[in-house]
Each structure stands twice: as C-alpha cells, then as structure tokens.
C-alpha cells in the first residue's frame, strides 16, 4: 500500500506544477458553467419556475456541482494507456513490481485529488457566490456525498480503463473514445438531469454505470435526495465497482496473452 500512496502523491504533485493550465481550466469551467446555468434557468423559467422537481436554485446547484466534477471524473476520458499499448510501452509497465491496475488507479486518485481542489472547487465557489447553492440540511448528506464523489471517480476510472484496454485488439481507438465521451456526457446526467429524459432513455441510462459518475454525487451533495435515498444510490455505485473491476482484470489478462508490440 505504501507504494500506491507514493504513486498517488507523485501524481498529485505532478499536476500541481501545471499552474497556468489549472488557471485556464478554472476560467473555462466557470465560463461554461455560467453558459449552462443560463440555458437551464431559461428552460425552468419557461416551464413556470419548476421542471421535474428542479427550481432555479436547484438547477444552478446542479450545474456548478457538475462543473466541479468535470475535471476529477475526467468526463472527456483518457488515452494514455491505449497509446502505451499501441507503442508497446505497456510491456515495461507490466514488469514493474506493482500491479498495473493498481498503479493506474493510484495515479487516478492523485490526479483527481488535485483536479478536484484546483479546478473543481473554485468554479463551484464562484458560481455559488453568483447564483447561490442548494445545500442539504443533514450532515449525512455531506458524508455520503464525499463517498459518492470517490466512487464516481472510481467508476469513471474503471469504465475509461475498459475503453483503453480495447487497444490490445483495436489499432485505432479514437472513434471508440469519441463514442464513450458522447455516451458519458448524455447518460451520466452531465448535460441535463436524468429525470428530464424521456422514460425510455431514463430507464436505459439507469442500466449503465454512467449515472454513478455524475448524477449520483450531484443528487447526494445538493440534497435533492434524502440520506436514505442517497445510501441506495451509493449502493448502486458500489455494485458497479466490482463488476467493472472484474471486467478490466479479465480484459487485461486476455490482452497480455495476445500482446503484440507494434511500432518497434
């Protein structure tokens, strides 16, 4: 465990050195947050002040929590592992004394920890000062919200990992990443709340792990669900973790057996 803690700490320090990129990310997240908030608030105003349980304050909270989770959850996906597989560098990773999946998860936690503090919290604070935030009354909501954020990062890591591991069998994965990002943005509840979906699309979304990445932590931290309901949502997140982890383990093991070093 000590090795993984050091890997996570190193990833945190690495990303903390990108000060200009962090500042640019905060600016971009904040600007797009105001754009998204204006669109949703306009829709709610047109609907008469409330839409599927969302009033203006709850909609603004939904937007700013989504912007805060955008970077640490990495809704745009990663491609580093896929590139390393195609280049054959993954062979070096597999020779290291720590398990590859453990290495990658430790890096993810360190990276997401900094991205949450450096690029997630500032837009949330700025947006909250301008529009206000709907906050839960129960302290259990905050505790469950913290757990939900950690599990959202974990579920996102595992789902993204599955896409990257396809590089063992597919020479070009950019199209797969594009499809994955589109599905995540829609079905996770990042673009609009899942309760605004048509019934068939809402049911479809709930059959996937995507709502566990965005909608669950937002609902928990905003107080839209009671602590009891939040506990059920966190339970769904916990259910996805071993399912995706087992799939990733099996894909990695199968991919290593069929590994072909390409390009050198």
The pTM score is 0.93
- Nearest-angstrom CA–CA distance, 186 and 72: 18
- Nearest-angstrom CA–CA distance, 234 and 214: 12
- Nearest-angstrom CA–CA distance, 25 and 104: 23
Low pLDDT (below 50) residues in the chain: 261-264
**Tell me, what's the pLDDT at 83?**
87
Alpha helices in 17-138 (DSSP H): 19-46, 56-73, 80-87, 90-95, 100-115, 121-131
What would the pLDDT profile of 96-129 be if each residue is shown by its tens digit? Answer: 888 889 999 999 999 999 999 999 999 999 999 9
**Tell me, what's the pLDDT at 260?**
53
Give the torsion sign (CA, 23, 29, 32, 33).
negative
Phi, psi of 262 (to 5 degrees): -110, 150
**Tell me, what's the pLDDT at 152?**
96
Q: Are 134 and 58 in contact (CB under 8 A)?
A: yes
- In angstroms, what CA-CA distances link 126 with 18, 69, 119, 217, 220? 21, 15, 12, 20, 21
Alpha helices in 132-214 (DSSP H): 139-165, 174-187, 199-205
- Residue 197 contacts by C-beta under 8 Å, 6 or more apart in sequence? 205
The two three-digit tokens of residue 128, written as one number: 């909250």
End-to-end CA distance of the chain: 34
Q: Are 155 and 241 in contact (CB under 8 A)?
A: yes
**Tell me, what's the pLDDT at 92?**
84
Q: Are 33 and 67 in contact (CB under 8 A)?
A: yes
**Tell me, what's the pLDDT at 77?**
80
């Amino acid at each position: 465990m000590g090795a993984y803690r050091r890997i996570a700490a190193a990833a945190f320090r690495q990303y903390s050195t990108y000060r200009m990129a962090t500042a640019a990310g905060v600016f971009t997240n904040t600007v797009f947050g105001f754009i998204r908030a204006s669109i949703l608030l306009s829709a709610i105003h047109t609907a008469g002040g409330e839409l599927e349980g969302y009033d203006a304050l709850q909609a603004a909270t939904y937007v700013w929590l989504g912007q805060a989770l955008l970077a640490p959850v990495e809704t745009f996906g990663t491609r580093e592992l896929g590139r390393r597989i195609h280049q054959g560098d993954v062979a070096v990773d597999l020779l290291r004394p720590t398990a590859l999946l453990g290495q990658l998860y430790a890096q993810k936690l360190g990276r997401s920890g900094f991205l949450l503090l450096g690029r997630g919290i500032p837009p949330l604070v700025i947006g909250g000062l301008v529009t206000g935030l709907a906050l839960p009354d129960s302290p259990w909501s905050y505790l469950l919200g913290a757990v939900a954020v950690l599990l959202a990062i974990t579920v996102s890591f595992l789902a993204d990992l599955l896409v990257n591991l396809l590089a063992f069998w597919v020479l070009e994965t950019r199209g797969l990443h594009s499809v994955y990002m589109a599905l995540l943005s829609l079905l996770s509840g990042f673009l609009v709340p899942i309760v605004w979906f048509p019934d068939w699309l809402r049911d479809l979304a709930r059959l996937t792990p995507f709502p566990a990445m965005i909608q669950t932590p937002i609902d928990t931290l905003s107080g839209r669900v009671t602590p009891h309901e939040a506990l059920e949502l966190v339970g769904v997140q916990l259910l996805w973790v071993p399912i995706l982890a087992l799939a990733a383990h099996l894909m990695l093991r199968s991919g290593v057996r069929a590994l072909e070093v390409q390009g050198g």
